[in-house]
Amino acid sequence: MKYQNKQINLKIDGHLYEKLKEYAKDEGKSVQHILTESLVSMMARKQEPVYKDGKFTFIDLFAGIGGMRIAFTKQGGICVFSSEWDKYAQKTYFDNFDVMPQGDITKINAQEVPDHDILVAGFPCQPFSIAGVSKKNSLGRATGFQDKTQGTLFFDVCRILEAKRPKAFLLENVKNLKSHDHGNTWRVIQESLNQLDYEIFPQIIDGQGFVPQHRERIFIAGFDRRRYGNLYDFQFDVDNQKPEKKPVLRDILEPEVNEKYTLSDKLWTFLQNYAAKHKAKGNGFGYGMPELDGVTRTLSARYYKDGSEILINQGKDKNPRRLTPRECARLQGYPDSFKITVSDTRAYKQFGNSVVVPLVTAIAGKIVEKVEELDKKAERGDDSDGTHKLQQTGH
């Protein structure tokens, strides 16, 4: 379902209108754009609805279109706060959850974030500057996580962890996070979370088996050492939660598809020539056309450009086609009830940036299970092997 733009008549004071036009000109935007942004900002200040029947509370940072929210809600969680800066993702989020995520996380006061049990974030991977850290070390000055992560969006995760101290968190990122910037990014992430007194457990997991897509991502689960100490282990162990019948590509295909998704002769010729050129050089670059009873390559945010990583064979007498936005949603494990209310281009970007919902649902279940186990042990004052210890707490 796609909503059409609506027109409203708005009467405002003449002096205010002139000021509004002047402001819009200074910002390089239209008056309509300014008014729309103002309405979105106002709606973003609306608090998440509070329910009392949840097992736990969580916040959804870098929320995208809400894949992580769906996952943790399915495990009995209540979302009490969400943040997403992209206005098109905000629209999709609002259209599905009736809540407008707050915007730029760098401008959000951590103390104003509601208390919560679990922090959830699919944070972007950015370079971490270590020049300042090295300089301080050479001067013999101590550095904390803020010094190391300042200027990156990971810092915003850290400052909320420091301010609100949730029991646990789940972070998600691209597979090569550990090798990013020659390993410096991963080192800073580990050191920062360790200095914040969180015990972390990272693992790269493939979404294949939950959906018909090869999609490896790193997941980082963390638990508050001030509450629970560190005499325990955590295993993601989600394989036994995969469906008995392995999902394959044909499972997610729509029976009838608009001709607009079929590649033009020009684009199809280009992709074939491009693939042949790289094959001759010994490279593996080229389009992907998986078997209908197989799995696809990783869906990316650039899928809207040509769809080359996942093409659907339509027989020898017809050019292949790209996936529809609904098929992309299914490929990521979104239910058909999930509303797609943006253009195809925006939808492709959004689903390409999203998570495999059933995989994250399985991980969420494991984290909730571990938190409940650790809470019981903390109440008894027991460590992992049942002996008494001095309870550690940050409160």
Round to whole Å and give the CA distance between 352 and 67: 12
Q: Which of 79, 125, 158, 328 is catalytic?
A: 125
Round to whole Å and give the CA distance between 132 and 128: 10
Please count the structural domains in the chain.
Answer: 3
240 and 303 within one domain: no
> Which of 378, 375, 356 lies closest to 367, judged by CA?
375
- pLDDT in tens for each of the 395 residues of the chain? 455 667 777 777 777 777 788 887 877 778 776 777 666 656 655 555 555 567 999 999 999 999 999 999 999 999 999 999 999 999 999 999 999 999 889 999 999 999 999 999 998 866 655 444 444 454 444 445 566 665 688 999 999 999 999 999 999 999 888 888 888 889 989 999 999 999 999 999 999 999 999 999 999 999 999 999 998 999 999 999 999 999 999 999 999 999 999 999 999 999 999 888 877 776 767 789 999 999 999 999 999 999 999 999 999 899 999 999 999 999 999 999 999 999 999 999 999 999 999 999 999 999 999 999 999 998 887 654 443 343 333 33
287 and 328 within one domain: yes
Q: Is residue 392 in a domain?
A: no
Structure confidence at residue 37 (pLDDT): 61
Q: Is residue 386 in a domain?
A: no
321 and 206 within one domain: no
Q: Is residue 2 in a domain?
A: no
The reply to whether 158 belongs to the active site is no
Range of the domain at 32: 11-44
The CATH number assigned to the domain holding 275 equals 3.90.120.10
Q: Is residue 88 in a domain?
A: yes
285 and 159 within one domain: no
Query: What is residue 224's three-state secondary structure?
Result: strand
153 and 184 within one domain: yes
Q: Is residue 107 in a domain?
A: yes
190 and 85 within one domain: yes
- 361, 75 Cβ separation under 8 angstroms: yes
130 and 218 within one domain: yes
Q: Is residue 1 in a domain?
A: no
Round to whole Å and give the CA distance between 147 and 135: 11
- 57, 299 Cβ separation under 8 angstroms: no
Q: Is residue 151 in a domain?
A: yes
173 and 221 within one domain: yes
Structure confidence at residue 133 (pLDDT): 46
140 and 70 within one domain: yes
- 156, 124 Cβ separation under 8 angstroms: no
286 and 372 within one domain: no
Q: What angle do CA 12, 18, 20 make, to 5 degrees?
A: 75
Query: What does each C-alpha distance from 273 to 26, 278, 280, 283 come to in angstroms?
Result: 47, 9, 11, 13
Q: Is residue 4 in a domain?
A: no
Block residue for tokens 């491009």:
274
Using CB atoms within 10 Å of the CB of residue 74, give its burial: 0 to 12 exposed, 13 to 18 middle, 19+ buried.
Answer: middle
223 and 117 within one domain: yes
User: Which residues on neighbouring strands pair with residue 79, listed in sequence order?
Assistant: 58
Block residue for tokens 């979104």:
334
- 254, 324 Cβ separation under 8 angstroms: yes
The CATH number assigned to the domain holding 140 equals 3.40.50.150
pLDDT, tens digit (0-9, with 9 covering 90-100), for 209-234:
999 999 999 999 999 999 999 989 99
321 and 287 within one domain: yes
Q: Residue ranges of the alpha helices (H) in the chain? A: 14-27, 31-44, 67-74, 87-97, 131-138, 145-149, 153-164, 184-195, 225-228, 265-280, 303-306, 325-331, 344-352, 357-380
